[in-house]
Amino acid sequence: MPEPEFIAESPPLLAPPWDDGNAGKPRIRDVRVIRTAPEGIRLVVVKIETDEPGLYGLGCATFTQRPLAVVTALEEYLKPQIVGRAVHDIEDIWSMLAVSSYWRSGPVLNNAMSGIDMALWDIKGKLAGMPLYDLLGGRCRTAATVYVHASGDNPIEVEDHARRFMEEGFTHIRCQVAVAGAATYGVAGGLDSDDPHPAHLRLRQDAWDPHAYARALPPLFEHLRLTLGDGVELLHDIHERVPPITAIGIARALEPYQLYFLEDPLAPEDNGYFPLLRQQTSIPLAMGELYVNVNEYLPLIQGRLIDFIRVHLSDIGGITPARKIAALCEFFGVRTAWHGPGDVSPVGHAANLHLDLAVPNFGIQEAHRFGDLAQEMFPGTPDIHEGMMWANELPGLGIDIDEALAARYPYPDHPLNGAWPPVRLADGTVQRP
C-alpha cells in the first residue's frame, strides 16, 4: 500500500475543523526538551511555550533507559505536529499523536506524548488559575499517603531501616532483603537509599537465584511482623523476576504476614497466570509499572484480578490516559498506586500527586525523597512529611524548573546510556530485570 502523500507546511494543516473557534486562545509556540540528571538519573522534561508571554507548561517524558530515543521522538516527530495548535485541545492532540506513527503505543512514543500532555494540563491549570487537582474535580483528601523503601543485607538491617522511617511518621514501608551471593533487586543501595533506582547503579552483579530469593522472604516478614508489630503496613516488590509458579508460591507463603500489597508478582508476558494466582491467595496484588498498552491491563481490571494499578504515568502517555484508567478502576474496586521512583522527574511526581488528590479510588503513592539539589532545580517539588505527600496551592502542576541549574547537570557518562545491564542466572541465562 503506498504511503499517503504529506506536504510539510504550517501547523494549520493538522488543525481540526473547529480550529477557527480557537481564535484568540493561546497557541503552542515552541516545544523544548530539557535533559538533566541532578541525581545521576537521566530525566527528560518537556517545556511547552505559548504565544502568550510568560505562559508555559512542564511535563515529564522520562524513560531513563532510552532517554535519547524519547528526545528524538519529541523534537523530530511530535513537535512539528503541534506547534501552532491551541493549547486547550488536549484530548484531540493526544489522540492525533497516538495514531500519527501508524504503529501505536510503546514506551518511547508514550513518554514523548506524556511530556506534551502533562505540559498542556499544566498550562490549562495556569489559565484557569487553579491547581490541577481542582481542575480534575477537586480534592478527595488532604494529602496522599506514601510508601518508602527499606532494605538491608539481612532482616535485622531491614528492621532498623524500617524503624527509622516509622520514627519519621511513615506508616507504609516496602521491604526488600539481600540474598547472600546473589543479585537482589532493590537492596544494593543499602541503608543509605530509600529507593532502588536507578537499577544500573545499585543492582548487585552476582548471579540471580530466584529460588534462594523465594526462600528468604518468609523469614524476613516473620521477623518484621514480630519486631515491628501490626501497626505498620508492609509491602514487597517481586519485580516480575521469578517464574510464575514461584511467584504464586511466594504469595501463598507471605499471606500470614498481612502485606498491604505484593507488587509485580508477574511480568506482563505472564498475565495469563493471574486467574490462577488469584485463586491461590487473598494477598492484595499491585501491578502495572511495565504496562504501556491498555490491552495489557484492561483484562486484569475487568476480571478483578488485581487490587492496585501501578502504571508509570509517562509510560502510558500522561495525565489524559491516567485519569481514564483511574475512573475505570473505580468501577471495578481497583485502587491507584502510581509508579513513583527516582526515575520519575519531580514534574512527574507532581502529576502523580494531583491525580492522587482528585481520584476517589486512590490507594497509595510510591515516594522518592529528592535531595536539596533536585528540589532547588525544580521549585515546587511536592513536599513529603508525616508519611504523606502534600501539594502546594499554585496553579497547574505547581512546579517549575531552573534551566540554568539543570544545564549544569548533564547526563552522566555510561557505556549503555542508562540501559539496564543484563541480569543472569548462574548458568548465564538472561533474566527479566
Question: What are the grid coordinates assigned to 253, written together?
Answer: 507463603
β-sheet bridge partners, residue 390: 383
Neighbours of 21 (CB within 10 A): 10
The C-alpha atoms of residue 61 and residue 41 are separated, in whole angstroms, by 13
User: CA 382, CA 124: separation in Å to the nearest integer?
Assistant: 19
Residues 6+ apart with CB under 8 A from 272: none
Peptide bond into 415 cis (omega under 30): no
Q: What is d(CA 121, CA 190) in angstroms, rounded to the nearest whole number? A: 38
Angle at 113 between CA 111 and CA 119, to 5 degrees: 105
Q: Provide the β-strand partners of residue 303.
A: none
Cα–Cα distances (Å) from 412 to 35, 43, 297, 420, in that order, read 11, 11, 34, 15
Q: Return the axis-axis angle of helices 319-331 and 107-128, rounded to nearest 10°.
A: 90
Distance (Å, whole) CA 397 – CA 129: 11
Helix (H) or strand (E) holding 396: none
Q: Classify 156 as helix, strand or coil.
A: helix
Please list the active-site residues: 185, 239
DSSP structure string for 175-191:
EEE-BTTBB-TT-TTGG
**Does residue 143 sit in helix, strand or coil?**
coil
φ/ψ of residue 206, rounded to 5: -75, 175
